[in-house]
Amino acid sequence: MAYFPADPRLLLSDMARPVLPDAPITPCLVVEPTRMKRNIDRLAGHLDHHGVTLRPHLKTCKNIDIAKLLLAGQAGGATVSTLAEADYFHAHGISDLLYAVGIAPGKLPAVIERLNAGMQLSLILDHVDTARACAQAARQSGHRLKLLLEIDADGQRAGLRPNSPMISAIVDALGSDCELAGVMVHAGGSYACTSTADITAMAETERLAALDAVGRLRALGLEAPVVSVGSTPTASLGQCFDGITEVRAGVHVFQDLVMAGLGVCSVDDIALSVMTEVIGHRPEHNRLIIDAGWMALSRDLGRAPDAPDLGYGLVCDDQWASRESLVVAACNQEHGLVSTRDGKALDFARYPIGTVLRVLPNHACATAAQHAGYWLENECSPTANDANRPGRFTEWRWLPRCHGW
């Protein structure tokens, strides 16, 4: 691990300083803990106010220390998007896990292994053939699989409409071999909303779809105690959770430019950034070259419908302050090409070779997925910094992420 220069002016005279063993090397993923805690507390307070439980989605953080912050004070378990996450969090003491991707029949033996190991793993499904595979796996293993019916509120991805005739076929196929414990809805369409009022309305659409569907299950004689909804936008801006037993959200822990573009947070709430160093100047193209390409930033160019194009991310200085609207305009594997959003001429003298910058992510899940873990910055105060080394944090803590499937 290399000495990590925060101020390029100090770099050349500072080369002989000893290498700090626990400091990151650029590009690296950095979490600012004060912002992160504020994000966690804000959603927890909102849902607490509405009397509904959060089942945090851990696919964004994929780290146990952050998961513990998300789970603090929550009655329920957590949500995961892979069995690898389930294994990792179960190994760290979180047993009640909802695997919120339609179960692939080929993964059922792996699910049974995990139930044998004591994991309380719930699955979701939306097809009668999946129900048949689950019932057979349950009979053969002796485990009464716990399942939620995936319901579609917005036509975006998976799930059945609440009035689908396949619902009763699924109930029949599961029979008594499995527990169909309720319904799950994810209003991914909230990412396409153009106002916070639309997101609040989408949250109500999500809630009503869930209640409609669970009502049909109950009319078929099932207890169906679980009514699970959520996405970060609808969880954050929903104003009614009556009848809902749990809300899922994950991106809120870090927030990102998509969430800021939707009005779910402000850019100053974004707790995740990629630290990078200026390695080149291209005045003829009005571009800086940085050592963070798509490998460090991800290829995610997603943005909110009415948000400006920020390329591969908004560039800030090492103190998280935006600088004259610099964005990462293009990427190669390990190169980022930084330019101004408005086409104005860059002041290259402000960004000498070696300048440390930060890039705020379009999509926190995608950017974080490019890294083996996070560097957690120590909580910065004016006195905590060496006055001669502005912005240079003296303590870094490594938080690993789980990976794979």
To its own copies, the closest distance from the beta carbon of 282 in angstroms equals 8
Token pair listed for 350? 């402000």
Q: Which is nearer to its own copies, 218 or 397 (CB)?
A: 397
With CB under 8 A as the contact rule, the residue among 47, 71, 108, 187 that binds its own copies is 108
405 binds its own copies (CB under 8 A): yes
Bridge partner residues of 9 (DSSP): none
Give the Cα separation of 167 and 213 in Å (integer).
9
Q: Which is nearer to its own copies, 52 or 338 (CB)?
A: 338
Ranges within 344-363 binding its own copies (CB under 8 A): 352-354, 356
Contact 59, 78 (CB under 8 A): no
Give the Cα separation of 19 and 11 in Å (integer).
13
27 binds its own copies (CB under 8 A): yes
With CB under 8 A as the contact rule, the residue among 39, 81, 255, 340 that binds its own copies is 81
With CB under 8 A as the contact rule, the residue among 98, 199, 337, 364 that binds its own copies is 337
365 binds its own copies (CB under 8 A): yes
To its own copies, the closest distance from the beta carbon of 293 in angstroms equals 8
Ranges within 265-294 binding its own copies (CB under 8 A): 277-282, 284-285, 289, 291, 294
Q: What are the DSSP calls for 116-184, one per residue? A: HTT-EEEEEE--HHHHHHHHHHHHHH----EEEEEE-SSSSSS-B-TT-THHHHHHHHHTTTSEEEEEE
87 binds its own copies (CB under 8 A): no
8 binds its own copies (CB under 8 A): yes
Nearest Cα to Cα of residue 362 among 256, 262, 261: 256
116 binds its own copies (CB under 8 A): no
To its own copies, the closest distance from the beta carbon of 150 in angstroms equals 8
10 binds its own copies (CB under 8 A): no
Token pair listed for 374? 């996070």
Q: Backbone dihedral region of 325: left (phi > 0), alpha (psi from -120 to 50 degrees) or beta?
A: left
307 binds its own copies (CB under 8 A): no
The span of 207-215, 232-240, 313-321, 368-376 binding its own copies (CB under 8 A) equals 368-376
Which runs of consecutive H residues, i.e. helices, occur in 220-269?
A: 232-237, 257-262
Alpha carbon separation from 1 to 8, 294, 355 (Å, rounded): 18, 22, 18
